[in-house]
Amino acid sequence: MQIGVFSVSDITTNPKTGKTPTEHERITAAVDYAVAAEESGLDVFGIGEHHNPPFFSSAPTTLLANIAAKTERIKLTTATTLITTNDPVSIAEQYSMLQHLSGGRSDLMLGRGNTGPVYPWFGKKITDGLELSVENYELLHRLWTEDVVTWEGKFRTPLQSFTATPRPLDGVAPVVWHGAIRSAQTAEQAAYYGDPFFANNLFWPQRHTKTMIDFYRDRWEANGQGGAASALVGIGGHAFMAETEAKAKELYRPFFNNAPVYGHGPSLEDFTRSTPLTVGTPEMVIERYQEMIENYGFPQRLLFLVDHGGLEVEMVKDQIRQLGEVVAPALRQFWQDHRGPEVAEVPTHELKVAQRDAALAEAGQTPWVDRYRFETGDNWTGLRAEDRK
């Protein structure tokens, strides 16, 4: 099981000091958090995508490439990449480049986002959100799995004999997670392609999230991807820890009350009762998330929101340390000890390469070879005088 942390990239005033960090401070802190996550033994660091204040992460591939250069082991992901308003050609090329630069340590989570105005900012209509998601991913999938694509759809100009560059590392596309809070259509899309589904359950009780995951597992099996228990699932999490529950609540309450995503609403106590947010000791977090892991059928990935609400840098790093050194080892061991034999391994670049190679060998086909296989011609017409007959 992969356990990691993610940020939604909010820029929020510290309610204790009254200081609002600059964009530069938040961006550099995010890099530091990723490095700290690797040093603490966590498996994944993720960053959201937003194009409006009070968020800073408008270019996640740039940020993740910088982190890749400063780390060696940790997996890097988005949380999420907007499949509705980003051009699929741009996604294909940017994330293939990140895949190469990270040595296969990067993947991405696709989603429709939760900011309605982002659609007209990028020339789209929110009423087309579902259609855009379906059409754009169909094209993105082809751009990564076919060297030359001819395509025509509803929402962008057609493509004629187009090759997205660079081609995916080792000939396999990045792992794509389809993320949703409440959209069954996203779960259906993930199951159709045999991709992992990430249920971002930060705002919902377990019964809602389990309904979404169970639906995805049912559709996974209906689409011929394997048994329901073998479906690839991720979940979101959120915790704040201290040596006692009372101390954790004392420290965290001002930040919770001020958080832009879920502050100014239910009390901390109400929210912790009805959502995955757990404020207490590391042992309380371990116990609660063991129950969630079992309830959701032993998901392959768990990502904790780590820096929301104006938390001070050292507080965030302390939470990362406790997650990496105390919580994650216990949850990974629980997953390994209690999962059934049908529960799939975590999807990674290395696993996809091994599965591709095994399939070629079983079919008696030539092993895949990494070579440049495209001629240099006239980039405007695709025609060359040398080819005339």
In terms of phi and psi (left: phi > 0; alpha: psi -120 to 50; beta: otherwise), the region of 181 is: alpha
Domain ranges of the chain: 2-346
For residue 113, what pLDDT is reported?
A: 77
DSSP state of 369: -
For residue 200, what pLDDT is reported?
A: 87
For residue 384, what pLDDT is reported?
A: 61
DSSP string for 297-348: T--SEEEEE-STTS--HHHHHHHHHHIIIIIHHHHHHHHHHH--TTSPPPP-
For residue 389, what pLDDT is reported?
A: 61
Domain spanning 2-346: which superfamily?
Luciferase-like domain (3.20.20.30)
For residue 117, what pLDDT is reported?
A: 87
pTM value is 0.94
How far apart (Å, rounded) are the C-alpha atoms in residues 352 and 79?
21
DSSP state of 113: -
User: Mean pLDDT of residues grouped by 10 in the chain (389 residues)?
Assistant: 96 96 98 98 97 94 98 97 96 98 98 84 92 97 96 95 95 97 92 96 88 97 98 97 98 92 84 94 98 97 96 98 98 98 97 97 95 70 62
